[in-house]
Amino acid sequence: MSASLSPTDVDIETALDATLRQAEAGNFAAAEQSCIALLGLLSQDGPQRDGAIYLLAMIRRDMGRPEEVVAFFKQAAESAGATAFHIMNYADCLARLGYVDEATRQYRRVSDSEPDAGREIENLTTRPFFPAFAGAHQPARQAYMAAAIHRKRQGDGPLRILEIGSYIGASAFSWTSAAAALTERGTIIHCVDKWAAYDAPGVGTDALTLSLASGAAGRLFQHNLRFFPPQATIERFEGTSSAIMPTLTGPYDLIYLDGSHLYDDVRSDLRMSQPLLAEGGFLCGDDLERQLADCDEASLRASIAHDIIPDSGPDQFLHPGVTLAVGEMFGPVSAYRGFWIMEKRGNGFRPVSLTGATGWLPRHWPDQQQTRVAADIQADGILAGLV
């Protein structure tokens, strides 16, 4: 929509409705621009301008920027004319920011008249809360991660896991839930994350980075710990991997790298992991969309300072630092839809076959994602099944 148009050229209600449909379809960037253009036309206060402002706030919240609009939603929810709609939106914003107890209190204000509020209360009080799953691009990785746990089902004592990059706890929940479902062993998992903003070219406006900077990720991680399996012991280490890993004592049965994806950081994490890993232990990680042998190495090195770059492959992007560092360290690795894994043997590493292993269906993910996981695993034909 052109901002040079006048209100007489545009059917405002139709334009607002079209913008809402864009947002409902997940086209948030286009919807945001449409809203801004509409507000440029609606210079006079009135119901249409109020509606456009409110819609813009909802869009920015759903884009993963709730810290920008929480004060707006709070004012609407506490105004004399507040409706259940205003209160529900405020509660949703609070939950996304990790203020789960206050979000639950807000939902309870309208739970007698709004069935959706009761469902949200149940969601927040009976299971972990992961608001970022709508953007998950390879949910089947969690099933392959669980299959790695199945490979470790034999042994005495709890599985010892080191996770570099825990964010809001989704992967840690999968590790511990898989151990509870697929083994008779408990889990001790050490979770390392800054839970704070980080800087890299092209990084700083995405939902993940904003939630780290606002503290939402750390609050959600702490909330989600309430719902981990009772067999699991979780210890949180707040700081960079380079600062925390030298203070840890192995051996770990599995080390998972999903922290910074910048080349120097990945290379450092790979190097520091090896002395902490048990003989026969698994060193693995996320976001290996392509292996080095399948890429133009010169192009990757030209992008070495970037966290993520566009790519012509099926994922449509890749992490050059992960591809380069893993490729330099190991050469080709065993990989499953971007989840890579190698086994420590003596002074070297060997690939890990997950063929015939059993995976775990990540039931903390939305139904749509679970359906996709099951379909992808069946299509791959590698795992024996999912529990």
pLDDT of residue 365: 87
Domain that holds residue 293: 133-353
Please give the model's pTM, rounded to 2 decimal places.
0.91
pLDDT of residue 10: 58
Per the CB < 8 A criterion, the answer to whether 365 and 374 are in contact is no
pLDDT of residue 68: 92
pLDDT of residue 3: 41
Co-location of 147 and 263 in the same domain: yes
378 domain residue, yes or no: no
pLDDT of residue 199: 62
Which residue in 296, 208, 310, 304 sits closest to 262, CA to CA?
A: 304
Co-location of 86 and 147 in the same domain: no
364 domain residue, yes or no: no
pLDDT of residue 316: 87
State pLDDT tens for residues 331-350: 999 999 999 999 999 989 99
Residues of the chain with pLDDT under 70: 1-10, 132-136, 198-205
pLDDT of residue 70: 96
Domain end among 103, 126, 149: 126
Co-location of 268 and 165 in the same domain: yes
pLDDT of residue 64: 85
Co-location of 269 and 186 in the same domain: yes
CATH code of the domain containing 143: 3.40.50.150
